[in-house]
Amino acid sequence: MRDIRVIGDPVLRTPAEPVVDFDRELRRLIDEMFEAMYAAEGVGLAGPQIGVPRRLFVYDVNGRRGHVVNPVLTVDDAEEVLDHEGCLSVPGRETRKPLYAPTPRAAGVTVTGVDRLGRPVSVRARGTLARCFQHEVDHLDGRLFVDLLPKSEARKIMLQT
């Protein structure tokens, strides 16, 4: 099983490259990403989080399960929603479990891209799924949720990692 990279690993701060090969290796990678996500009890996982700097992510939020390759995120409802958010790549030093903080996100988004076979995918989301999509696309752009926090809150999280 693939290890989840943690804050401090340069792959998490480097924008991911588009996926160009839709082959057996990509299908295996997506299966391994689901395996790693479930083992860590997460709801989403992006390529860079397992050391693969490619634009793809998997998710399983409230019974909605899927993956998106080369995603493009569009904000449908820019109303800012503040809710607790954590990240498998930002674990506490003591617990090795994700650290959480109130994090602002847009209320509604649409993610478009393709699936493992190159077929078009489009998913509209609100609530936790919208938060997940924004979080995972941020990973693909080299950003972490702590980047969205006020400096004092981000500092508290960083002191615990």
The domain tally of the chain equals 1
Is residue 1's pLDDT more than 90? Answer: no
Domain membership of residue 85 (yes or no) is: yes
Q: Is residue 125 part of a domain?
A: yes
Q: Would you state the structure tokens that stand for residue 30, as one six-digit string?
A: 């997506």
Tell me, yes or no, whether 1 lies in a domain: no
On whether residue 3 sits in a domain, the answer given is: no
Among candidate residues 17, 94, 136, 153, the one labeled active-site is: 136
- 90 within domain boundaries: yes
CATH number of the CATH domain containing 118: 3.90.45.10
In-domain check, residue 2: no
Instruction: List pLDDT tens digits, range 51-74.
Output: 999 999 999 999 999 999 999 999
Long-range Cβ contact pairs of 117-126 (< 8 A, separation 24 or more) = 117/22, 118/22, 118/69, 121/66, 121/68, 121/69, 123/64, 123/66, 123/68, 124/76, 126/77
Per-residue pLDDT reduced to its tens digit, 5-30: 999 999 999 999 999 999 999 999 99
Query: Residue 20 sits in which domain range?
Result: 10-160
* Residue 38 placed within a domain: yes
Alpha-carbon torsion angle 8, 31, 71, 11, nearest 10: 20
> What average pLDDT does this structure show over 42-51?
98
> Residue 44 in contact with residue 132, Cβ under 8 Å?
yes
pLDDT band at 107 (very low <50, low <70, confident <90, very high): very high
Active site residue 136: yes
Q: Does residue 5 lie within any of the structural domains?
A: no
